[in-house]
Chain A
Amino acid sequence: MRHRTRIAVGPVQFRIGSDWAPPIAALKRLYAGYPRDTDRPADATVRLFAARPWRRWLRPSVHIGGDFIVPDALPLPLSMGLLAAEMGMNLQVALGWRRHMLLHASAVAKDGRAVILSGESGSGKSTLAALLGEGDWRLMGDEFTLVDPGSGDALAFPRAVSLKNEAIAEVEARVDPARLGPLLAGTPKGDIRHLIPRADAIAAMHEPVRPALLLFPRFGGEPAIERIGEGEAFVRLTEASTNYIALGEAGFAALTRLVRDTPAFTISYPDSASGMTIVEQLWTEAVR
C-alpha cells in the first residue's frame, strides 16, 4: 500500500498500510516513542483502503481491513482515519491473537503486581487506568490485557489510550498537551482523543506482572464495593475475552487459575476521584 508504518505494542508487531497519508502520519506521531524494530516480521496487518479507486479523493471514506475484517462494517470519513486505524488494530488482535488469553480490560501495575479492570464501554475502565497511570502506577493498557496461559502472568498492551467524551477534559487538565493526539469530534463512538502513555510505561511494556486484583467497575451511582465469587468472576471474564473459546483447554485453565488466585470485586463510583480512591483502598488490602 502507498503509505505504511510498523508499530509494536506489547508482544504484537503491527504493519499498517493506508491509501491516504494523514492516518499514517497521525499514527507515526502517536507511536513515535515506541520501540522500533523494522526488521521484525509483522504478526498482524491492518489495511485502511478505499473501496473504489475514486473514493481516495472523492468523499474519501476509510474501509477497515487486514488479516481479519468485519463484513458489512461501515467506513469512516478520512477525518476519522486515526480511529479507523485503532479499530483495525483492535480487530486483528481480538480475532487473531492466540499466544495469550485476551481480556477486554484495562490494567495498571505497581511493584510487580497488576490491577485488572474489566468492563464494557462506558464503565470507565479506560479513564480510571489512564488517570492512575498519571500517578504512581504503570499503565499497562486501556483496551486489552493479555494473560499468559503458561505462567498466569498479565502482560501489557499499552496502545495509545482512547479517551472518550468527558474523560478527555479530565485528562487534558493533567497532562502535557504534547502527549495528546488530535480531537476526533462526533465519531460513532462520541468524541475521541488519544493519550500517549508515559515513557516509563512504554519502556516496561514487556515486563510481565502477577495479577493482584480483578475489578469490574461501573461508572455512576454511590460508591460501592462488592466482593464476588470465583464463579461469577469466571463467567464475567469469559464474556470479556475475545479468544477464550478458541484457546480451548488452555483458556479454561488460564481463566480458572486467574479467578482462583485473584480476589475480585465489582465497584461503583460517581466520579473518577472516588473510583481511584476505591482502587487504592482495595489494592492496599489485597497486597497486605
Chain B
Amino acid sequence: MSAVGALVDLLAGRRDAAALGPRDWDGVISVARAEALLGTLAHRLNDARLPAPVALLFADMRAAATVATRQALWEAEMARRALAPHGIEFVLLKGTAYAAANLPCAAGRQIGDLDILVPWHDLARAENALRVAGWEWVKEDAYDDAYYRDHMHELPPLIHRERDRMIDVHHTILPRTHRITPDALALVGDAVRTPDGLSILCPTDMACHCAAHMIADGDLQGGLRNLWDFHRLVTDFAAADRGFWGKLDERAEMHGLEGSVHRAARLARDLYGTKLPSGWNRHRPRDERYQRRLLARDGWGGATDPLLQQAFYIRSHWLRMPPLMLARHLWTKWRKGHHPI
C-alpha cells in the first residue's frame, strides 16, 4: 500500500483508519503534510480510532487550524477596513472564502495568502489603498513586477509590513495571456454575501475557479488539496441544489472552462469518490496522466516522477502564454538563474 494511496483512501472514507498499522501512519502523515492536507485529515478522522500519538498530533493540527482560520479571517477584515473607505468592493477567493462561508472543505484546511478579486477598473485604486494601509511590494525584481502587471491575473504580491501576511489582489482568475478568458465581470457581478457581510463567488463560480486554478493554470503542484476542495464543494452544492450540475455546466461553458471543470470532476470521482450525474460520468484516457501526477509522492513525502512533473510544469506555461512570449519569458528567467525543479 502506498502512503499517498492510503491518504486518499482515508480522505475518501474508503479505508478504516483503525486498520492501518502503526508504522503506516509515518507515510500518511508525511504525505499529508507535503500536500497541505494534514489538518483536513485530522478533521476527517475526528471520530476514528487512532493510535494515541496520532490522535494527539491530529488534535494539535485541529487546534492549529482553528487559530489559522481565525487569523485568515482577521486578515480579510483588515483588507475590508483598508478598501471600504474608498468604496472598493472585493470578493474573497479560495481558502479564506471557504472559511468565511464556513463550507465543509474549510475544516482544517490550511490557508496561505489572502486572495481577493476586485473589478479591473478598481485595481489601481485598490493597490493604492492597500499601500496606504501598510502593505508593501515584495517583488523587487523589475522584470517580475512588470511581468505581473502586464500578463498576470493579479497584482505583484503585497505583504503587510507589521503582520507579515501576503495579499494577492486578482482582477480575474486566469492570467491575461492564458488561452482561456473567463468572464471576470460575471464573477464579481454574481458574487454572494456571507452572513458576516463578506463577498464570495457564487457556488458555480467557486467550483469553476477551483478547477481553473488546478487544471487550467497550475502545474498540479498541491493538486490533491485543490481536488479535495473541489470534491467537497461540488458534493455540498449538489446536495443543497438539485439543479447544481446543470448550472455548473452552463457556467463553466460561459467561462470557457468546461474542459477543466469536467476533468476536475472526473479526477475527484476517481480519487475521492465524488458522485457525478450521468452526463458527467465519462472516461478520458488522458485523466490517467493527471492522476499519476497528483499521486507523485513517496512514503517520505518526497516528490517522485520528475519527468512527469516537468511535463506538467511545461504544460502550465504553454497554456499560460503564446509560444513566442513563453520563449522570451523562459529565456529571461533562465538568464536570471531560475531553473525549475
Contact = CB atoms under 8 A, between A and B. Distances in A.
Interface stretch (A42-50, A113-121, A126-134): A42-50
A151 to B, nearest CB: 16
Interface residues of B, number: 24
A41 B22 contact: yes
Interface stretch (B27-35, B142-150, B246-254, B310-318): B27-35
A99 B60 contact: yes
A271 to B, nearest CB: 39
Interface in B65-119: 67-68, 70-71
A41 B25 contact: yes
B61 interface: yes
A98 B64 contact: yes
B301 interface: yes
Interface string A34-66: 000001111101010100000000000000011
Contact of B26 (A42, A49, A249): A42
A41 B29 contact: yes
A56 to B, nearest CB: 14
Nearest to B65: A98
Contacts of A246: 64, 67-68
Contacts of B60: 97-99
B300 A39 contact: no
Contacts of B57: 41, 43
Interface string B2-40: 000000000000000000001101100110011000000
Contacts of B68: 246
A67 interface: yes
A250 interface: yes
Contacts of B26: 15, 41-42, 45
Contact of B301 (A40, A45, A247, A250): A45
A186 interface: no
Contacts, number: 63
Contact of A47 (B22, B67, B302): B302
B340 interface: no
B51 A41 contact: yes
A188 interface: no
B3 to A, nearest CB: 11
Interface residues of A, number: 25
A124 interface: no
Contacts of A10: none
B297 to A, nearest CB: 12
A15 B27 CA distance: 10
A49 B25 CA distance: 22
A61 B51 CA distance: 37
A42 B60 CA distance: 14
B24 to A, nearest CB: 8
A165 B61 CA distance: 38
Max chain B CB contacts within 10 Å: which of A17, A45, A250?
Answer: A45
A1 interface: yes
Interface string A93-112: 00011110000000000000
Contacts of A98: 60-61, 63-64
A248 B67 contact: yes
B71 A1 contact: no
A40 B53 contact: yes
Max chain B CB contacts within 10 Å: which of A13, A41, A67, A99?
Answer: A41
A203 B308 CA distance: 48
Given A42-B26, A45-B26, A248-B67, A67 B301 contact: yes
Max chain B CB contacts within 10 Å: which of A42, A65, A249?
Answer: A42
A141 B34 CA distance: 29
B25 A47 contact: no
Contacts of A40: 22, 51, 53
B198 interface: no
Interface in B290-306: 300-302
A65 B300 CA distance: 10
A45 B53 contact: no
Contact of A248 (B25, B30, B51, B70): B70
Given A45-B301, A67-B30, A250 B67 contact: yes
B53 A43 contact: yes
Interface string B36-62: 000000000000000101101100110
10 contacts: A40-B51, A45-B30, A45-B301, A66-B301, A67-B33, A67-B34, A97-B60, A98-B61, A246-B68, A249-B67
Interface of B: 22-23, 25-26, 29-30, 33-34, 51, 53-54, 56-57, 60-61, 63-64, 67-68, 70-71, 300-302
- Nearest first, the 6 A-B pairs at minimum CB distance are A248-B67, A41-B25, A98-B60, A67-B33, A98-B64, A39-B22
Interface of A: 1, 13, 15, 17, 39-43, 45, 47, 49, 65-68, 96-99, 246-250
